Amino acid sequence: MNDAQTVPPKFKILFDTDPGIDDAMALLLALVSPEIEVVGVTTVFGNSHVEATTRNALNLLNLAGRPDIPVAKGADRPMVRPRGQTGEFVHGDDAMGNIGWTAVHNPDQKPLDIPAAQFIVETVMARPGEITLVAVGPLTNVGLALQLEPRIAQAARNVVIMGGSVATPGNVSPVAEANIHNDPHAAALVFGAGWDVTMAGLDVTMAVRMDEAFFAALRRSGNRLAQFIGRIAPFYQQFHRERYGYPDGGVDTHDPTAIAYLIAPTLFRAERWSVAVPLDGPAMGATIADRRGLFWPGPKVNCLMGADAPRVLEMFRVRLTA
């Protein structure tokens, strides 16, 4: 047997993100995972405005020793609607837990001179069947990329998003999750494009909870990336304590769970349903799944409905502290 037969191919991921504390955890997890090659990062508004999320993406890559990974700055507002409230109240004024990130640390790092949507199109079309789009912010860049070049729906290997919810109440409205609510038009395009989409929504991301014992273990480890996560976590922990009354310094593990699914899909239970997104009104941004499979013939979304939370958390801990 040659190497091609014995070594499984890496996931080549294009990581679309609004960093963000949990985005930072997800990106660092991807960067330390041998199954994953991060071929580029695209940024979007969400947890802050796009200048801040782009700065954070550049600094995270620099921190991880990967300033070579290209970053393309993306949308600062949704495709159709006006931008709603950005997420500094969850992630801090710098969207990184108030650690004082105000500038790009490495002067050699610059975003590409093309916008994120174009970078997505060029990257996907250059490597048909190879690229996994992992989108953990509002889906604006991916929606714009679909408009620019609809053939990316056939050329991408698959899409994994953190967003939405099938059976769990929303986190920005009674029924909507933040990433979908921030740009429902983009989400509707992504769900309807006919590609292989997996939705890691609140049904799993609120079921996997990091807590103070977890973060303390990261801080104690000799690993500098783990220690960084331990440093940015307190603001996020305080938000979860005040908003949801979570005990023991617990937080939802949103964006890292999308990466966990790529690495270990058998730790998750999925159901395939057509998903519709209301574009306005009180249900705006909800992800309504046709769970009887009777009513909507459209493309099916692979909805993650359950997770083996202890094993997912253990995987995070082992990888981040290795």
Per CB under 5 A, 23 contacts Ca ion: yes
- Cβ closest to ligand RIB, residue 16 vs residue 308: 16
Task: Give the x-and-dash track for 255-274 against ligand RIB (CB under 6 A).
Answer: x-------------------
Count of alpha carbons within 13 Å of 38, Cβ hemisphere only?
28
The one among 178, 193, 262, 301 contacting ligand RIB by CB under 6 A: 178
Per CB under 6 A, 277 contacts ligand RIB: no
Per CB under 5 A, 201 contacts Ca ion: no
Tokens 């909870």 belong to residue: 209
Tokens of 198: 């997996």
Q: Which amino acid is at 11?
A: F
Per CB under 6 A, 304 contacts ligand RIB: no
- Cβ closest to Ca ion, residue 162 vs residue 277: 162
Instruction: Give the Cα separation of 61 and 289 in Å (integer).
Output: 36
Per CB under 6 A, 183 contacts ligand RIB: no
Phi, psi at residue 313, to the nearest 5°? Answer: -65, -40
Instruction: Please say whether the beta carbons of 70 and 114 come within 8 A.
Output: no
The number of beta carbons lying within 10 Å of the beta carbon of residue 148 is: 14
Tokens 């023991």 belong to residue: 248
Instruction: Give the Cα separation of 308 and 108 in Å (integer).
Output: 41
Among ligand RIB, Ca ion, none, residue 178 binds (CB under 5-8 Å by kind): ligand RIB
Q: Which stretch binds Ca ion (CB under 5 A): 133-141, 143-151, 256-264, 296-304?
A: 133-141
Instruction: Give the Cα separation of 268 and 67 in Å (integer).
Output: 32
Instruction: Please say whether the beta carbons of 17 and 41 come within 8 A.
Output: yes
Q: Which stretch binds ligand RIB (CB under 6 A): 126-134, 171-179, 224-232, 290-298?
A: 171-179
Phi, psi at residue 280, to the nearest 5°? Answer: -160, 180
Is 240 catalytic? The answer is: no
Residue 18: CB minimum distance to Ca ion, A: 5
Per CB under 6 A, 136 contacts ligand RIB: yes
Residue 94: CB minimum distance to ligand RIB, A: 14
- Cβ closest to ligand RIB, residue 132 vs residue 171: 171
The one among 14, 15, 18, 257 contacting ligand RIB by CB under 6 A: 18
Residues 41-70 that bind ligand RIB (CB under 6 A): 46-47
Instruction: Give the Cα separation of 25 and 41 in Å (integer).
Output: 14
The one among 137, 163, 184, 285 contacting Ca ion by CB under 5 A: 137
Residue 58: CB minimum distance to ligand RIB, A: 17
Task: Give the x-and-dash track for 254-273 against Ca ion (CB under 5 A).
Answer: -x------------------
**Distances from the Cα of 88 to the Cα of 1, 52, 98, 125, 288, angstroms:** 52, 10, 9, 35, 28
Instruction: Give the Cα separation of 30 and 15 in Å (integer).
Output: 9
Instruction: Give the Cα separation of 160 and 12 in Å (integer).
Output: 12
Instruction: Give the Cα separation of 239 and 237 in Å (integer).
Output: 5
Per CB under 6 A, 308 contacts ligand RIB: no
Question: For binding to Ca ion (CB under 5 A), which residues are involved?
Answer: 18, 20, 23, 136-137, 255
Question: For binding to ligand RIB (CB under 6 A), which residues are involved?
Answer: 18, 20, 22-23, 46-47, 87, 136-137, 162, 171, 177-179, 254-255
Catalytically active residues, by annotation: 254
